[in-house]
A and B are shown apart, each in its own frame.
Chain A
Amino acid sequence: MDSILEMRGITKTFPGVKALQNVNLTVRKGEIHAICGENGAGKSTLMKVLSGVYPAGSYEGDIVYEGQVRHFRGIHDSERLGIIIIHQELALAPQLSIAENLFLGNEIARNGVIDWFQTHRRARELMAKVGLKESPSTLITDIGVGKQQLVEIAKALAKEVKLLILDEPTASLNERDSQALLDLLLELKGHGITAIMISHKLNEISRIADSITILRDGSTVETIEASAGAIDENRIIRGMVGREMNDRYPHRTPAIGEVIFEVKDWRVHHPVHPERLVVKGVNLHVRRGEVVGIAGLMGAGRTEFAMSVFGRAYGRRISGEVLMDGRPVDVSTIPKAIEAGIAYVTEDRKQLGLILNEDIRFNVPLAGLDKISERGVIDRHAEVTLAKRFRERLKIRSAGITHQTVNLSGGNQQKVVLSKWLHADPKILILDEPTRGIDVGAKYEIYTIIHQLADSGRGVIVISSEMPELLGITDRIYVMNEGRFVGEFPAAEASQERIMAAIMRREDA
């Protein structure tokens, strides 16, 4: 069979980071080609290079599509040749109808006037092809995520797709919708449409993929052919995580005490689609002086779990029990959760962590203003002293405490957020992706701070998508997948293979 696409020696550099390094990918005409890899392995970057989001010239290497070297300057160029990408976050206009969305930017119109009759007729045809039983005039917001996914595919068909790229298409779908989607992909394959599917789910991959390319740290590890026999799960897992651990993590001898924090049978529903259960009965405990990790892939429900425990900052119809020092505590609002001794350091420090247009002095006391004020009047001396103390203690590199936080580097911003929560003096700190977007040197400092926090008798929960990081700094690791805890290991017994296996095998079941 001849190839429809060949990407040769693709190298893509961002300031300071090599996101892709000499990646090769060959996709044959009419096959379903899966791409696997950890978070940050470069899967999405590779697809953005292919679809022209990163235009020709911003990367090295060649894209050969249908036998010719192509230089896509934008997504329009690739779409014109039938390469359509469907992102994980669906790009539909929620307040427009299915028909309107199908032809968005591609309207059936004469002199700018839309031909609604033709639009609806064509919409019905396309919807029949993807098995979507809805009226074309139904609004996107009124149908579920599974059907929205079908609309995206129908939209691709409307553009006469030849190569369909799906980025984790089943990530937010339930079992039945996932099966239907996979069936549809097989059917489209029968009509000669080639597909590239990014997926973490081994059962899906083994069911529909003809070949699998594994990426790790921006490079191709290998391509496995399904025709050569059954797909070896262990081989895929090894290929995804096979990375050397080294001393990027500070050493520590933990002093672990009694259980101080417990969450029992925690259940959370999606805030917008309340019928969807996002966290499905999670039990967790943390001991004094312990660093507990929560591993999992993106979308596993870790952030949702943490934020819902932190004063119901996420979700609705939340049920379950939170115990601090063995006694149930009320965490129904954020002030109450802080009062109970919980702190949550968000993964998105710019959007959710800092008041960016204000300085360090403003941000540090924000979660505990009452501690530096008397009858509502802030003690300015105490405020300055406080900010200075944290700036020194956490080694925040800035021109002073009046330095605007927007101008700080990622690592220093994170230290300001940490200062804010240390000032609140919690018993339990939940750190969500604490080192995302931080360079290596600053990461080491953050790890040291985490260890100091635990050694001072607090409990620390670290949510991270970087498995080496969890293995390097935690004492115990929970593995979360699809809203459940699917594994628990002492850090000493854990390995990347075991964690990955816990995540992926669960999905087979």
Chain B
Amino acid sequence: MSAETMSPAEAPRHSYAGFLKNNIREYGMLISLIVIMLYFQFATDGRLFQPDNLTNIVQQRGYIVVMALGMLMIIVAGHIDLSVGWLCGFLGAVAAILMVDHGVPWYLAVLATLVFGGMVGAVQGYAVAYLHIPSFIVTLAGMLIFRGLTLYVLGGRNVGPFPPELATLLTGFFPDLSGRMADPIAPHLETLRLVVAPYALAAVEAWNRLTESASLLPKIEWTPVLTRQETTGDISSTSLGIATVVVAMMLANAFAARVKLVRQDMQTEPFVFFLLKTLAIAGMLFYLAYLFATYRGLPNVFVIMGLLIALYSFVTTRTTVGRRVYALGGNEKAAKLSGINTERLVFLAFVNMGVLSALAGMMFATRLGWATPKSGDGFELDVIAACFIGGASASGGVGTVLGAVIGAFIMGVMNNGMSMMGIGIDWQFIIKGSVLFLAVFLDVYNKKKG
């Protein structure tokens, strides 16, 4: 056989099974997130999706998403940053001390903290990129140093509370410019629920009949309500309006991009998959925003996160800088020989991580109300896990912003759900570790087979 002949594995383009096999990771992640959310929704008797709880998750765990964006760049570049947890805590403390102890105006303090975060990142980045010290070691040292510095600057105190302007900005809600209105969506959701309820009832009954013959299986005690319930309550019209516009723009954008790809004959994703994936993401986002709107509106942190996610998606997929980071992580020597300044990119990735750590540190501290000597403990673990659950490769060159965000949500939902279920911290760690291992194991296994 001539070496020019294509192997049969790469020939088929439009078979569903073949496509699914090659892209199982992307869909698998999304499906895992949905399954995990549904599971906790069920296991917590519907408390997970209560608007106040969702708002809590986003405000308490938003720092994971913010730092995962920076971590993703570092991991794609082929490095790791273990220091971000304590760096985040340290920078939160610095911001608090500037504002509370020294009375620095909040906006100057925020700016100073972001710049300081960037400088700290620059020091670590310089050591990794130009001195060629392994990032694992540099940031392990950083982790110890920042932990010590956090204790040192706080001197065992809790420093707070933060100025009300900053507290509003980071823990408040998008202003209700157009007032509240009667919930226009709830009646439709109720109708949808009424359609589904009889099937759910039938499913529960079928399951319970099965448990009578197989006594090992647990009985389900839940019966769906079959009558129409009164829907009351109002909703933030501004938040709902923004959500509608953004989701509509996302959908339009996705379809326009697809049309372009089809025209260039570059489309490999079957339409069904594209539709399901796009609708699932848009639907989840819209439903989330809707739930926020029924409570106090979109949390500001959610808006900040959204903007950052959009920015980093754009940078990683559309810009030369993003492209070069992937090239560097995929094959550093080849990237270098293609004229790419690999050292500078690594350096910038760490600077970027420092700035995002500063933002995350302030988000966490303001949410808590003060900077404490314990803030930051173990944050890096959730952040790194989010990237790897989201499909990033430890050897670099692979990973997406969307994946890291989904990974961060999986970590956030698991943290919150398990706490609500009353699972002890011991088992929480064991379960989170297992999920991380399983995700990466399936990845490696899938690659070996494929």
If A334-B337, A335-B341 touch, whether A400 touches B397 (CB-CB below 8 Å) is no
If A355-B335, A402-B268, A441-B4 touch, whether A369 touches B320 (CB-CB below 8 Å) is yes
Residues of A within 8 A of B7 (CB): 407
Cross-chain contact B336 with A367 (CB below 8 angstroms) = no
- In the complex, A259 Cα to B264 Cα: how many Å? 43
If A399-B11, A407-B10 touch, whether A380 touches B334 (CB-CB below 8 Å) is no
In the complex, how many residues of chain B place their beta carbon closer than 8 angstroms to a beta carbon of chain A? 36
- B residues sitting closer than 8 Å to A (CB atoms) are 1-4, 6-7, 9-11, 13, 260, 264-266, 268, 318-321, 323-324, 326-327, 330-331, 333-341, 397-398
Min Cβ gap B181→A in Å is 39
Pick the contact of B323: A338, A378, A398, A424 (CB < 8 A).
A378
Residue of A nearest to B266 (CB): A384
24 contacts between A and B (CB under 8 A): A352-B333, A352-B337, A354-B334, A355-B335, A357-B330, A358-B397, A366-B323, A366-B327, A366-B340, A367-B338, A369-B324, A370-B320, A376-B319, A376-B320, A378-B319, A381-B260, A384-B264, A398-B6, A400-B13, A403-B10, A407-B7, A409-B4, A411-B3, A438-B3
Min Cβ gap A342→B in Å is 10
If A355-B331, A357-B398, A370-B320 touch, whether A346 touches B337 (CB-CB below 8 Å) is yes
Residue of A nearest to B12 (CB): A399
A486 CB–B CB distance under 8 Å: no
Min Cβ gap A235→B in Å is 37
Q: How many A-B residue pairs have CB under 8 A?
A: 110
A142 CB–B CB distance under 8 Å: no
Min Cβ gap A421→B in Å is 9
A410 CB–B CB distance under 8 Å: yes
- In the complex, A378 Cα to B319 Cα: how many Å? 5
Cross-chain contact B337 with A344 (CB below 8 angstroms) = yes
Cross-chain contact B319 with A355 (CB below 8 angstroms) = no
Cross-chain contact A369 with B3 (CB below 8 angstroms) = no
- In the complex, A465 Cα to B9 Cα: how many Å? 34
Which residue, of B320, B326, B330, B341, has the highest number of chain A Cβ atoms within 10 A? B320
Cross-chain contact A366 with B338 (CB below 8 angstroms) = yes
Residue of A nearest to B5 (CB): A409
A230 CB–B CB distance under 8 Å: no
A442 CB–B CB distance under 8 Å: yes
Pick the contact of B4: A355, A377, A399, A439 (CB < 8 A).
A439
- A232-273, CB < 8 A from B: none
A195 CB–B CB distance under 8 Å: no
A351 CB–B CB distance under 8 Å: yes
Cross-chain contact A401 with B341 (CB below 8 angstroms) = no
**What are the 5 closest A-B residue pairs judged by CB atoms, nearest first?**
A355-B330, A409-B3, A338-B339, A367-B338, A369-B320
Cross-chain contact B6 with A399 (CB below 8 angstroms) = yes
If A313-B336, A366-B338, A402-B268 touch, whether A377 touches B319 (CB-CB below 8 Å) is yes
Mask, A340-373, CB within 8 Å of B = 1, is: 0000101000011111111000100011011001
A16 CB–B CB distance under 8 Å: yes
- In the complex, A466 Cα to B268 Cα: how many Å? 41
Residues of A within 8 A of B1 (CB): 16
Residue of A nearest to B7 (CB): A407
Which residue, of A311, A352, A366, A411, has the highest number of chain B Cβ atoms within 10 A? A366
- In the complex, A16 Cα to B6 Cα: how many Å? 16
Which residue, of B11, B260, B318, has the highest number of chain A Cβ atoms within 10 A? B318
A397 CB–B CB distance under 8 Å: yes
Residues of A within 8 A of B6 (CB): 397-399
Cross-chain contact B318 with A377 (CB below 8 angstroms) = yes
If A397-B4, A409-B3 touch, whether A378 touches B337 (CB-CB below 8 Å) is no
Residue of A nearest to B11 (CB): A399
Residues of B within 8 A of A334 (CB): 336-339
Residues of B within 8 A of A352 (CB): 331, 333-334, 337
Residues of A within 8 A of B330 (CB): 355-358
Min Cβ gap A354→B in Å is 6
Residues of A within 8 A of B13 (CB): 399-400
Residues of B within 8 A of A402 (CB): 266, 268
- In the complex, A338 Cα to B338 Cα: how many Å? 8
Min Cβ gap B132→A in Å is 13
Residues of A within 8 A of B333 (CB): 351-352
Residue of A nearest to B265 (CB): A400
- In the complex, A439 Cα to B2 Cα: how many Å? 8
Cross-chain contact A358 with B326 (CB below 8 angstroms) = yes
Residues of B within 8 A of A346 (CB): 337
Residues of B within 8 A of A451 (CB): none
Min Cβ gap A313→B in Å is 6
If A410-B3, A442-B4 touch, whether A355 touches B336 (CB-CB below 8 Å) is no
Min Cβ gap A243→B in Å is 23
Residues of B within 8 A of A474 (CB): none
Min Cβ gap A412→B in Å is 7
Min Cβ gap B329→A in Å is 9
- In the complex, A334 Cα to B336 Cα: how many Å? 8
Residue of B nearest to A370 (CB): B320
Residues of A within 8 A of B334 (CB): 351-355
Residues of A within 8 A of B2 (CB): 439, 441
Cross-chain contact A420 with B264 (CB below 8 angstroms) = no
Residues of A within 8 A of B321 (CB): 376
If A355-B331, A366-B335 touch, whether A411 touches B340 (CB-CB below 8 Å) is no
Min Cβ gap A376→B in Å is 5
User: Beyond A355-B326, A355-B335, A369-B324: 12 further Cβ-contacts under 8 Å?
Assistant: A16-B1, A311-B339, A334-B339, A337-B339, A352-B337, A366-B338, A369-B320, A376-B319, A377-B318, A378-B323, A407-B9, A410-B3
- In the complex, A344 Cα to B319 Cα: how many Å? 25
Residues of B within 8 A of A397 (CB): 4, 6
- In the complex, A346 Cα to B334 Cα: how many Å? 9
- In the complex, A465 Cα to B78 Cα: how many Å? 35
Residues of A within 8 A of B323 (CB): 362, 366, 369, 378
- In the complex, A248 Cα to B266 Cα: how many Å? 36
- In the complex, A356 Cα to B326 Cα: how many Å? 11
Pick the contact of A357: B268, B337, B338, B397 (CB < 8 A).
B397
Cross-chain contact B337 with A439 (CB below 8 angstroms) = no
- In the complex, A380 Cα to B318 Cα: how many Å? 8
Min Cβ gap A184→B in Å is 37
Residue of A nearest to B330 (CB): A355
Cross-chain contact A412 with B4 (CB below 8 angstroms) = yes
